[in-house]
Structure 1
Amino acid sequence: MNRPEKSKSRQKIESETELSRKSFLQKSGGFLTAAALSSYCSTYSRFPSGLDDPLENARWAGLSDPIHLALAAGISAPNPHNVQPWKFRILTSTEALLYVDPDRVLPETDPTLRQVHMSQGCLLELLSVAAGELGMSASISLFPEGYRVPSDAGKKPVASIQLIRANQRDPLYASISARRTVRTAYHGPAINSREYTDLKALTKPRVSELRETAPADLQKHLDFHFKGMQAELAHFPSAEESRKWFRIGNDEIYGKRDGISLASNGVQGFQKWFIETFILSHDPEDYYDESGQKMFMDRYRENLYSVKGQILFITKSNTVKDWVLCGRDYARMQLAAQSMGLVMRPTSQLMQEFDAMADLAAQYNSFIGVQAPAKIQINALLGRSDENYQAPRRPLKDMLLS
């Protein structure tokens, strides 16, 4: 990666800072360290209200129309880099249009907008599940005005949404409150055949072939995923894109309420505090500090190789409709996993379409046996974890078009 060159003055500052780090750690002892860590042990939540249930949070915020309530649940959906790439035009108390937010896309790692459109599907699935809790069902029409990628993204709606009175409560609604993407280390036994069967049955996929990975092959897949992360970080444009969306410290994470962080990447506790306090900043020289990068990759490796199972989401073609529907499948499986006491996280590096990833992606496709027009849309890594970190969300009002 072409990292910024360090000036002599910068090197001197870093040398003095390193002495300060050592002095601090030597002199502070456990007592002072615990005091310094106290702000990192505070309780923060996905929603500003502190309430877990998205519908209760929406009512706390003064929302009452069914469409606002359903959308408020939908925006807790998984999405790449937590950019929350959604815009809504409210038509009536029960109708809305869903658009891509063109200011919240990832042109370096997602140049085709595939992942962004998958996140539209993730939102639609959680919205549909929440609609049942309101005594309604969601009638969703994709691309009501026609749609071409990328020219229509942000200009034409991805979907029209109409809520209709019904009595179709979804048993997975309870999982929305606890839904989280856990990237810390997993524990417990490997995912067994019964659990895979139950996950697929609860997911009821709309478009995806859900292909589980045999235990004997899991290590080989994880080796590919680790190389994928290395390739993404080594490619300066994609690394810079992540830097711009990176939030440092709880004040920034819960002030901006979007983006990625050490916490969302599985770095917690003392290591998170140490990196954010002494190493990491938005200055490129600090962000690309070799010691910080090494600490991150060491933790990433530890967390990655602890997973207990994997399911690949494969579609027969690779159209924008496939992307949206696969997003619905992924979001529903994550809710299903949550209901079974499991957690799930994606790996997407090997599916990304930027040039620097092409060779490694081709090797992985060959290893899996997938050829165009079929596409591996996303991989879901599975396991068990007590970690309950939930990435925050911006208020719904910030996503509404006038």
Structure 2
Amino acid sequence: MLAAADNGAILALVAHDLGATEISSIVVPDVAAALMRLAAEVRTRLPHLTVVGITGSQGKTTTKDMLLQVLNQFGETVAPKDSFNNEIGLPLTILKCTQKTKYLVLEFGATHIGDIEKLASFANIDVAAVLVVGNAHVGEFGSVENIAQAKFELVQSLSDGGVAVLGTYDPHTIDMALRAPGQVVTFGPHGKVCAEEMSLVDGEPTFLVYDQKIHLHFTGAHQVANAEAALAICEALNLDRTQVVACLNEARPLSKWRMERSFTPGGALLLNDCYNANPESMAAALVTVAEIGSERAGRAVAILGEMRELGESSRSAHESIGRLVAQLKISRLVGIGEAGETMVKAALVEGHQDAHSFGDHDAALRFVEADLRPRDVILVKASRGTHLEDIAARLAGGVTK
């Protein structure tokens, strides 16, 4: 409670009486339910608010960060901190809105069918964006088809006259476009918003859209899809295209550990993508590190850990990533933990000559630091629970335990 007060909290919802505390408190039978009821009341009192909901197996937070910076140029905008996309974070985001707020951007996560329907029920969404359906959380959902069903709940929750924004990168979102109840704006290949003439400069994409040039200050070719999504949402909101493009050209990464760039003391480029990992995002990150390594005329080094919540497909998914490392000719693979060993073995079978597995962070870090070169580019990526951000931080700071 003291920490909450120190961070600006003035009221607490609590499940039982805590006695004398630093801030006032209200005792409720169910804290999460009470928080959602408060958020629903705030939404009801702000009928002028335009609400954008974003979901997808990857890209939600980066798309949100891009969109926030664009919409702020058109009116006061509220968006989640980091990945506040569950039954706690989403209501807290709504509670930040005031009468001055013009746009509210919400990020919707889910681990079960019905999660998004529940969260969207009180948000009164005007624009619902589903970016892509992939294997993230497939261990929880049981199948990719169930994941698609869960994501479609956001489209089904649209208010009257609402617009669905849907990618064309996978068959599930293409199918959603056919089933959406109202207006649809598509993005991606053959979509209404489609990037053309894409190229990379130091890992950052440049492309054309609406015959206007965009240079993203985000790392990786996969960021183009996130930018297309942000542009399509702005299209759904009928915002001026030229102004939107100008804002997107100025946008910068806001959330940590998502292809976050820094340098080691010796000059190697470090890409910290440790916030989360699934097979699709892992593949995109590996393509990026391979491309940047080639451009820098240096080695591409991948330090990889477990991709979690993949259920029965976990082993085959990690083997697939190991094979991809070899196919992309990533210079060195460092796998951490049991899943890392699975990737390393698959890479070696595929013909890779420089793949090594370690049981703990310290051993892996010592191995990497013993042979770092100034033109190397290093990717550090795994699911959040593996805490590989510790390795990235120590590489950036040059500190070894």
- TM-score (ref. length: structure 1): 0.24
Structure showing greater relative contact order (alpha-carbon pairs closer than 8 Å, 6 or more residues apart): 1
Q: What TM-score do the two structures reach when normalised by structure 2?
A: 0.24
Q: Which has the higher strand share?
A: 2
Higher share of residues assigned helix: 1
